Amino acid sequence: MSDIYVKNEKSYRAKKITFNVLTYLFLIAIAIAILIPFYWMLLTSMKSDELMRRIPPLLWLNPKEWQLSNYYRLFELVASGPRRGEPLFPFFTYMRNTVVISIITTAGTMITTVLSAFAFARLNFKGRDILFAILIGTMMIPGEIFILTNFLTINRMGWYDIMNQSYMDVIFAMTLPFMTSVFYIFYLRQTFKQIPNELYYAAKVDGTSNFQYLLKIMIPIALPTIITITILNSMGAWNAYIWPAMITTKDEFRLVSNGLRGAFTDTGTGRTDYGQQMASATLVTLPLLILFFTFRKQIMRGVSRSGIKG
Amino acid sequence: METKNNLKAWFYLAPMLILMAVFTFYPLINAFIISFYKDYLPLANNGTGSISGYTLHNYVVIFKNQLFWKAILNTFVLAFVSVPVSIIVSLFISVSLKAIPKLKGFFQTVFFLPYVTNAIAVGMAFAVLFHKDYGLFNVVLGLFKITPIDWIGGTASWWAQMSALMVFTIWSSLAFKILVFTSGLENIDKQYYDAARIDSASKWTIFKRITVPLLSPLILYISITSLIGALKAYNSVIGLFGEKLGGQPYSMITIVAFVYKYRADFAFQGFYSYAASAAIILFFITLIFSVLQTMVSRSRVHY
Amino acid sequence: MKKIVLALVTFFFMFVIVGCVEVVTTVPTTTQTPTTTQATTQPTTTQPTTTISGQTTVSGQTTASEQTTVPTTVATTTTIPKVIMDLPDAEVDITFWHIYGAGKSAVLDQLIVEFEAMYPNVTINSVAQSDYNTLREKINLGISVGQVPTMALGYPDHFAAYITTGAVLSLDNYINSNVAYEVLDSTSSIVSQLVDVGVDLNDFPESYLAENNQYIGGHYYSMPFSKSTETMAVNRTVLKAHVTEIRAMGITISDEGFLSHSTPLTFAQLQQLSTILVNETAVTDVANFQCGYLLNYDSSGNMFINMSRQWKAPYTNSSGAILINNDTTKNMLNYIKAMFNARTFVLPVVWGQLYGSANFILGDVCMTVGSTAGVAYNIPTGTDVLEKFGKFEVDFLTVPQTVTASDTPVTMSSGTNDYNITGALSAVQQGPNIGIFSSANSNQKLFAWLFIKWLMTTENTAKWAMSTGYLPARLSSYTSDVQIDLTTTFSITYTEFMHIAQDYWTADGLVTWELTDERWDYLYSSMVANVAMSQTSFYQYDPAFAAGSVSSGSAQVRVEAGYCLENVYTGTYSPTGALSFMVNQLIWG
């Protein structure tokens, strides 16, 4: 009897180790594939102008050849003229704007998303499925089609004024159109739907209102998803380019992406200084990485099971 | 109980609906109407615009353009191959991530990187990877004594270009999927797995009978949103091929790229209508497939 | 060429004589203007007397139709004595939209500071948009809601579009104006100069002017600002190695490998050079100084357009007609295809690049045609062994032509076919111009115009050109003697700058300058400026028009032209097929 167990255990162990090794190899292969462009971004940002133009491009730089001039140049100050002493690329202004817009948009989105996802997941009302289908439908139109009409709307509200645009105007114009997201409503709805009905009925028997149920039970249970959505949403402001470019009238209102996108392209030749652009992209990415790293555990955590006992 | 729910539900939906009405529905309806305008001049009459009538002709123009059909082909192939493949790959990655005892955090951070890496950098890197002379892929092919392929250059075949675009698209889409599936996997009650192990079920059976069904709500979400996103492919083509939209001009044009082609001349006689028409056509195509997907999944999704 | 010089000389003399007469006969009038807040800034040239009429009848909106009595023959207005008026002293805010990045913005800002010192009541807000597309879209949308800046930079096709809505101000009145203002000095607050509102158009290259008044009614809707052109960079080291053979073919070349800077190379000569300089295979043969390819064209769009003009093949016209579907163009494309096959011409797509400069430096191609703004990219700097010819010598020449003088018949021979055409000299002219929008109020318009004038003064346009790599918009800049500070220790006049290359060429490249001599740093840009100046007489602009209801705008035509040549090169389509595809994309509906 014991012989059989020993044999099974050994082969079981062997299988487990092989499985683990294979899994690790698989993951490492994927990780390398994922890392390549990121590595490329870093590498390019540290090449001098001359090395940049090499064909074939250099795939590796000795630490001695690392040139941080691209990074230094990003913090250069204007030498002369009316803007003397100001930074050439007002990073901090752009970052500040991006953070402000990001916070406001995310706050608004979270409110609309949680409320709407709750309604679609838990409440039974007439027209629920049709409305949901229509909302999914709105995801199917490419974003630029909206720009024309939204621009006219923003203008009609008085938030776009070439001479007198105030910071508040810009905030309204940049946040309101993006305070809803069918993409995240759908995600949260799926998560809410996975919370068992029994919980709901039990709460109802206890006399809890819908809203209390949402606040005290559903949100805590679905917190990882909610945190995920919050973080992903706030990252959206980093990459927003077209809309901010259209509705800002002054450089000091710009967001990070549109402030920097055309900044390194020479208008005469049409060529872009990729070294500088990658340096600025790296700098801009850092806060996002830090954000993700801080909240990683929360994002990856599962639904807490503490609400369900027995 | 029913009526009370009705009213309450609309209260919950109100903030979202108001905002969407102004910034999403209104432009959409506008675009729909514009697609039927004849000789639309948006800037005439101080911005009110002028039209000379209504017509279906804009749609005819779109259908007659030989690039439109190329765009449809490219978009369909890209969407219907890249979406299932990326879902399957990300599922496997998520399951593998769950299975390994250590280094979870490291891998999770790495797999999230595509989400935060600058899109231009990604495009540049892939353009280098696929370069016919010094790209990594061709270097590897050379090691196996296979003749190098032109993936994205002037002499690239449609297959090569589509493959490169496919790799690029799948690569970019993995991060979000892995994120969703990983946190979804954490939701699955350990009890199910324990029960399965007692029954000495194989890993594959566990995957097929437990993991996938329990993940099905999220798989549905991912498949619908990914398909919609893939049908809207545009940035990936620009990132890999530049404004030329292909190794040869327009060879990898997608439907959205086709729509945007009219944007440059948009303010003038009729062009915006053409763009709107093309966009409406895309909308209907996507709608059909989303409905199909939802119908198919009804029986398979378990909440 | 001679006719132009004669005309210029005649105008110049007339101007001088008339000016003398005027100075002798006019009594300068001082403050006789009524309320300065009225529309005093728009004197019409139909009032030749010295009385300053109450200008209240002239509204701020000067659209072309209101000025039907203004003749466009500019020179004759010099018979009208100058009217000196007071500048409006109300506070004026002007917005200027452009797309200059950090470096060029700094130069612009400095010019703005000096302007604001001269006109203390004026503030100019210069806002850089991220790129041309954003700029154009914001203005397009802005027009529809009445939110446009006072003035903006733009390409001719942008302006063509704005003009169809009546949004752009016609500048004819200002150009022909006889008003002058007493203005503060740019560095202090002493009134020290008299600034004319009008402009002497003779100081501008004719084609720059033509580009800016090609629009409806032939009025000027913009003024040239950041111009550039294309020149050809050649590998002089390779040429020098073959001097005897080249001379044997009847091509002028100096002992150090300098081809002629006064006569352009013709395509026939390029074909001859190809037999010497191009290797049998596409791989450069360093030992024998033979390249894989002879001539690269960075911009296939410009190649199509410019060669069409050189072949006198119809391309487009200002009304928006797209005329490319003709036999001459087809012949041209067949010729180009043959040249591609012979590796005499090549496009960067062969190396999977966007520009040919990197491969030019590598030695894969012996010559390359590219923008004047991109000079530095064509100069080899490193001593890396990867560059096949090492740090070879570079010279800049006029872009190759079909003929050496316009309207000469020539036979273009592709080896299998001969095409008899009448050739013309042509070089591209690129770069944005500045215009003013009609929705601005009259004070804004006046000062916007004065700002444009300020940007276009001989000294300032020379400064702008030297600092940015663009070309001066005025002919007098090339001979100006205003010191321009390039570094903290080095300043130069534009004339001296032009001489750098001229001295170098006269000495056949064997100059005795010290290694630290600053002239080495500016040698190549000086060469390019000289070549650009010699091309000035045959610049041709690309007609600009907005999209019609069944055909595309000029910008899209250029893009498709580039794609057409690419398709011809890669063989995706035959030359006729590529042309049909191009037509199909541009004409439809």
Indicate whether C146 and C263 sit together in one domain: no
Domain presence at residue C572 = no
Is residue C450's pLDDT more than 50?
yes
Asked if A202 and A237 sit in the same domain, the reply is yes
User: Which of B133, B266, B269 lies at the smallest CB-CB distance from C352?
Assistant: B133
The larger pLDDT score, comparing residue A147 to residue C307, is at C307
Pair (C280, C422) in one structural domain: yes
- Under an 8 A CB cutoff, do A149 and B27 touch? yes
What average pLDDT does the segment C149-160 reach? 93
Is C46 within a domain? no
Q: Which residues does chain B have within 8 Å of residue A20's beta carbon, measured at their own beta carbons?
A: 99-101
Domain boundary pick from A74, A100, A127: A74
Residues A264 and A180 in one domain: yes
Residue C23 has a pLDDT of 36
Instruction: Please report, as a single letter, which amino acid is at residue B268.
Output: F
Please indicate, yes or no, whether residues A66 and A96 belong to a single structural domain of this protein. Answer: no
Question: Do A198 and A114 belong to one domain?
Answer: yes
Amino acid identity at B113:
L
Strand C83-85 to C179-184 pairing: parallel
Test B232 with A239 for CB contact under 8 angstroms: no
- Using CA atoms, how far apart are residues C310 and C69, in angstroms rounded to an integer? 38
Instruction: Tell me the residue range of the domain where C286 lies.
Output: 230-428
- Please give the tally of structural domains in chain A: 2
Of B28, B120, B294, the CB nearest to A277: B120
Residues of C in contact with B42 (CB under 8 A): 144
Tens-digit pLDDT profile for residues C268-282: 999 999 999 999 999
Residue C165 maps to a domain? yes
Question: Which chains neighbour B (Cβ–Cβ under 8 Å, 3 or more pairs)?
Answer: A, C
Q: How many CB atoms lie within 10 A of CB B49?
A: 16
The answer to whether the Cβ–Cβ distance between B256 and A124 falls below 8 Å is no
Q: Could you tell me if residue C162 is inside a domain? A: yes
Q: Which of residues 49-88 of B touch A (CB under 8 A)?
A: none
Instruction: Over range B100-106, report the average pLDDT.
Output: 82
What per-residue confidence (pLDDT) applies to C311?
96
B44 at C interface, C-beta within 8 A:
yes
Q: Which of C500, C526, C543 is the last residue of a domain?
A: C500
Give the chain A residue nearest B178 (alpha carbons). Answer: A300
Do residues A288 and A235 make contact, with C-beta atoms less than 8 angstroms apart? Answer: yes
Q: Are C330 and C576 in contact (CB under 8 A)?
A: yes
Q: Is B231 on the interface with A (CB under 8 A)?
A: yes
Q: Within a domain: residue A230?
A: yes
DSSP string, B159-172: HHHHHHHHHHHHHH
Q: Report the pLDDT value the prediction gives residue C560, as an integer from 0 to 100.
A: 93
* Co-location of C276 and C411 in the same domain: yes
Whether C480 and C459 map to the same domain: the answer is: yes
Tell me if A101 is assigned to some domain. Answer: yes
Can you give the pLDDT at residue A305?
Answer: 45
Assembly ipTM: 0.87
- The yes-or-no verdict on residue B22 having pLDDT over 90 is yes
User: Interface partners of A (3+ CB pairs, < 8 Å)?
Assistant: B, C
d(CA A67, CA A82): 31
pLDDT confidence bin for A260, thresholds 50/70/90: confident
Of A38, A112, A142, the CB nearest to B279: A142
Confidence of residue A7 (pLDDT cuts 50, 70, 90): low
- 238-297 in C: which are within 8 Å (CB) of A? none
Characterize B262-290 residue by residue with b for buried, 16 or more Cβ atoms within 10 angstroms of its Cβ, and e for exposed: bbbbbbbbbbbbbbbbbbbbbbebbeebb
- The nearest CA of chain C is from the CA of A88 a distance in Å of 6
Interface test with A, best of B12, B255, B260, B288 (most A CBs within 10 A): B12
Percent with pLDDT over 70 in chain C: 84
Contacts of B264 in chain C (CB under 8 A): 133, 553, 555-556
Burial zone of C141 (CB within 10 Å; 0-12 exposed, 13-18 middle, 19+ buried): buried
Residue A114 reports pLDDT greater than 80:
yes
- From C500, C520, C544, the end of a domain falls on C500
Confidence at residue A81, expressed as pLDDT on a 0 to 100 scale: 66
* Domain-terminating residue out of C428, C457, C482: C428
| pLDDT tens per residue across span C475-486 | 999 888 888 877
Domain count, chain C: 3
Residues spanned by the domain of A231? 91-300
Confidence of residue C583 (pLDDT cuts 50, 70, 90): very high
Model pLDDT, residue B45: 61
A163 and A30 inside one domain: no
Residue extents of the structural domains in chain B: 38-274
Q: Tokens for C99?
A: 């797309």
The gap from C-alpha C459 to its chain's centroid, in whole angstroms, comes to: 18
- Residue B56 scores a pLDDT above 50: yes
Q: Which of A131, A149, A293 sits opposite B26 (nearest CB)?
A: A149
Are C552 and B265 inside 8 Å of each other by CB? Answer: yes
Looking at residue C26, its pLDDT comes to 33
Measure in Å the smallest separation between the Cα of C45 and chain A Cα atoms. 33
Q: Do C358 and A55 touch (CB under 8 A)?
A: yes
C397 and C319 within one domain:
yes
Task: Please check whether residues A145 and A269 belong to one and the same domain.
Answer: yes
**Which residue, C219, C300, C336, is CA-closest to C576?**
C336
Give the residue from B23, B167, B219 with the most A CB atoms within 10 Å of its CB, the best one to mutate.
B23
Residue A60 within a domain: yes
Neighbours of chain C (3+ CB pairs under 8 A): A, B
Q: Who among A119, A177, A296 is closest to B13 (CB)?
A: A119
Q: How far is CA C378 from CA A53, C370, C373, C532, C580, in A?
A: 11, 9, 11, 16, 35
Same domain flag for C218 and C242: no
Q: Could you tell me if B53 lies within 8 Å of chain C, comparing CB atoms? A: no
In angstroms, the separation between the Cα of residue C77 and the nearest Cα of chain B is: 36
| B101 CB-side CA count, 13 A | 5
Residues A51 and A152 in one domain: no
Domain check: are C278 and C157 in the same one? no
Residue bearing tokens 């750098």: C500
Are C287 and C386 found together in one domain?
Answer: yes
B249/C146 touch (CB, cutoff 8 Å), yes or no: no
Return the bridge partners of C253, or none: C259
Residue pairs between chains A and B whose CB atoms are closer than 8 Å = 245
Task: List the CATH number of the domain containing A259.
Answer: 1.10.3720.10
Given a cut of 90, whether residue B164 has pLDDT beyond it is yes
Q: Tens of pLDDT along C505-525? A: 999 989 899 888 888 989 999
Q: How far apart are the first and last CA of chain C?
A: 43
Do A159 and A50 belong together in one domain?
no
Nearest beta carbon to residue B13 from set A116, A124, A274: A116
Same domain? For C220 and C235 the reply is no
Q: Are strands C223-224 and C433-436 parallel, antiparallel or unpaired?
A: antiparallel
At residue C570, what is the residue type?
T
Q: How many angstroms away from the CA of C540 is the closest CA of chain B?
A: 24
Are A46 and A109 found together in one domain?
no
Q: Tens of pLDDT along A49-72?
A: 777 777 777 888 888 888 888 888
**Among C367, C304, C294, CA closest to C335:** C304
What confidence score (pLDDT) does residue C79 get? Answer: 56
- Find chain B residues with C-beta within 8 A of A190's C-beta: 217-218, 220-221
pLDDT tens digits for range A179-217: 999 999 999 999 998 888 888 888 888 888 888 888 888
Q: Homologous superfamily of B38-274 in CATH?
A: MetI-like (1.10.3720.10)
Co-location of A37 and A6 in the same domain: yes
CB-CB under 8 Å, C144 with B46: yes
Q: How is residue C326 written in tokens?
A: 């003709």
CA-nearest residue to A48 within chain C is C382
pLDDT tens digits for range C4-52:
445 455 544 544 454 344 334 333 333 333 333 333 333 333 333 333 3
Q: Are residues A35 and A179 in the same domain?
A: no
pLDDT interval class at A6 (50, 70, 90):
low
Give tens-digit pLDDT for C482-507.
Answer: 888 777 788 889 999 999 999 999 99
- Partners of residue A138 in chain B, C-beta under 8 Å: 20, 24-25, 28
Q: What is the mean pLDDT of residues C347-370?
A: 93
Chain C touched by B177 (CB under 8 Å): no
| Residue range C385-399: mean pLDDT, rounded | 85
Contact C144 B249 (CB under 8 A): no
- Residue holding tokens 């909302």? A135
Residues A123 and A210 in one domain: yes
3-state SS of C401-461 is: ECCCCCCEEEEEECCCCEEEEEECCCEECECCEEEEECCCCHHHHHHHHHHHHHHCCHHHH
Instruction: Tell me which residues of chain C, numbers 80 to 99, contact chain A at a CB-CB cutoff of 8 Å.
Output: 93, 95, 99
Tell me: do C15 and C100 sit in the same domain. no
- A77 interface with C at CB cutoff 8 Å: no
Contact B268/A at CB under 8 A: no
Give per-residue pLDDT as tens, B233-284: 998 999 899 889 999 999 999 988 888 877 666 545 456 677 777 777 778 8
Instruction: Flag whether A257 is in a domain.
Output: yes
Task: Using a CB–CB cutoff of 8 Å, tell me whether A59 touches chain C.
Answer: no
**pLDDT, tens digit, 9 for 90 and up, residues C195-252:** 888 888 999 999 999 999 998 888 999 999 999 999 999 999 999 999 999 999 999 9
Per the prediction, chain A carries an average pLDDT of 84
Contacts of C357 (CB under 8 A, 6+ apart): A53, C298, C368, C370, C374, C377, C378
Structure-token match 């063989």, residue found = C571
Domain limit, last residue, from A27, A45, A74 = A74
pTM assigned to the model: 0.87
For range A141-154, the mean pLDDT: 83
- DSSP β-bridge partners for residue B50: B41
Asked whether the predicted pLDDT for residue C383 surpasses 60, the reply is: no
* Chain A residues near residue C102 by CB distance under 8 angstroms: 78, 88-89, 263
